[in-house]
Structure 1
Amino acid sequence: MRRRRDEMTTRVTYQVAAWMLSYPDEDLVGRLPALRAALEEHPGVDPALGVLVDHLARTPLATLQSEYVELFDLDRKHALHLSYWTDGDTRRRGEVLGRFKSAYRASGWLVDTGGELPDHLSMVLEFAALADLEAGSALLLDFRPGLELLRFALLERGTPYAGAVAAVCATLPGESPADRRAAMAMAGPPAPEAVGLEPYDPRLLPVIGQGAGA
């Protein structure tokens, strides 16, 4: 029974974080009461997610959108694409992105990327929450160094979004690194020729629908 409770807590963590790390629009604002209710029903979820829900609820939408673009689109230190942290914009990155697509296909669910790269953190989290928790968690674990570096970057920025990433990191086995140096040691040497990401359209939200294959 405990394992089922822990699994449900992880799924709720991933689903709520997935929405809150997506570009804020009217759809997201409309979902906030349901997200808050889900957190209240599962007290084992990191309370930092509730702090972010409150922030999104009390901040005007136009302000949220401006802050999101500045934080995630215009500053590569806060990249939400997991392969950016390992491969930058190198040729090898295409192979890494293929791994995400293969995981989605193998799940038996139809994953509509909506034109977004398949390694966007919101998409991976929603895949893990709704389709295949084991496969999605494996992707997160393999790219944990980047997640931890993103967590530190958001903490240093002083943004409530740090809570969402911290909550995701807390679901992974083992202790999180204590500082940026330790997180960088987990990542190993940087990929050669890494030049970072080109800006992406933040209006594209991940959508996962049940179906046969991708």
Structure 2
Amino acid sequence: MTAGHARLSRAWQTQSLLLGYPDEHLLGRLDLLTQAATSLGDAPLARFVGHLRATPPAQLAADYVATFDHRKRCCLFLTYYAHGDTRKRGMALLQLKQTYAAAGLHLVDDELPDHLAVVLEFAAAQPGQGRTLLLEHRAGLELLRLALRDARSPWADVLESVSATLPPLIGDQRQAVAKLAAEGPPAEQVGLAPFAPPEYMPQTEGAR
């Protein structure tokens, strides 16, 4: 692995952990995460780790649920942005699982392969393939970043860090982000049962 790939791998692994649910396991690794952010010279990640240190665990958990479970535009499941609730999303999830399996990564039963934390974990282990996956979902990533920034969410710093590991947006990519922001993902409500149980689908604004 080259020095550049090694740095990306550290960044993606750190981002993956920070996008997980803020439970005792994550909060118990704050010293390690601080060291990682410092070694990367990554100011957004350092700010976010500082936020984790300064915020009571119960508040972190409530904010995480309110941000990622109750806002469609803050959905962490990347294929949702491209395919919405359609048959194509089911196929995209299956293809991701096959890609991971071919590289030796096997998910547990309650993990969906398009969760950004899972994609970043894969990218940390397989930087070349992982970068390709992140670029394939660049429009969704940027929409998520902008939505978190607009919501003044502390998790916006993590998405800023992810975006910084990828090339600057060019014309067609900018148009794709603008189109997705204006129109949203497709909304055909069929074809997902074998791949995405309802509890993993993003809920509407304000849903409980």
TM tier, smaller: 0.7 to 0.9
Residue 20 of structure 1 aligns with which residue? 18
Is the aligned partner of 1:157 residue 2:157? no
Q: What's the CA shift string for 1:26-48, capped at 9, x where partnerless?
A: 000001110111222232xx310
Superposition CA RMSD, Å: 2.6
Residue correspondence of structure 1 range 64-83 to structure 2 within 5 A = 64-83=60-79
Q: Which amino acid aligns with 1:118?
A: P
The answer (yes or no) to whether the contact 1:83–1:119 under 8 Å persists in 2 is yes
Alpha-carbon distance in 1 for matches of 2:123, 2:155: 20
Q: Among the aligned pairs, what percent are the same residue?
A: 40
Q: Which amino acid aligns with 2:145?
A: R
Q: Which amino acid aligns with 1:138?
A: T
TM-score for both structures, normalised by structure 1: 0.81
The answer (yes or no) to whether the contact 2:120–2:130 under 8 Å persists in 1 is yes
Residue 57 of structure 1 aligns with which residue? 53
Superposition deviation, residue 175 in structure 1: 3.2
Residue correspondence of structure 1 range 176-191 to structure 2 within 5 A = 183-185=177-179, 191=185
Residue 174 of structure 1 aligns with which residue? 168
Superposition deviation, residue 173 in structure 1: 2.0
Residue 33 of structure 1 aligns with which residue? 31
Unaligned runs of 5+ in 1: 202-214
Q: What's the CA shift string for 1:12-65, capped at 9, x where partnerless?
A: 11111111111110000001110111222232xx31011001101111111100
Alpha-carbon distance in 2 for matches of 1:59, 1:29: 11
Secondary structure class of the residue paired with 1:110: coil
Superposition deviation, residue 8 in structure 1: 2.1
TM-score for both structures, normalised by structure 2: 0.83
The answer (yes or no) to whether the contact 2:139–2:176 under 8 Å persists in 1 is no
Residue 131 of structure 2 aligns with which residue? 137
Superposition deviation, residue 176 in structure 1: 7.0
Q: Which amino acid aligns with 1:133?
A: P
Q: What's the CA shift string for 1:115-155, capped at 9, x where partnerless?
A: 121100000101111x2111111111000000000000000
Cα 1:104–1:23, aligned 2, differ >3 Å: closer, same or farther? same
Cα 1:25–1:144, aligned 2, differ >3 Å: closer, same or farther? same
Is the aligned partner of 1:42 residue 2:40? yes
Secondary structure class of the residue paired with 1:111: coil
The answer (yes or no) to whether the contact 1:100–1:119 under 8 Å persists in 2 is yes
Alpha-carbon distance in 1 for matches of 2:170, 2:33: 26
Alpha-carbon distance in 1 for matches of 2:140, 2:117: 14
Alpha-carbon distance in 1 for matches of 2:185, 2:55: 38
The answer (yes or no) to whether the contact 2:12–2:162 under 8 Å persists in 1 is yes
The answer (yes or no) to whether the contact 1:49–1:164 under 8 Å persists in 2 is yes
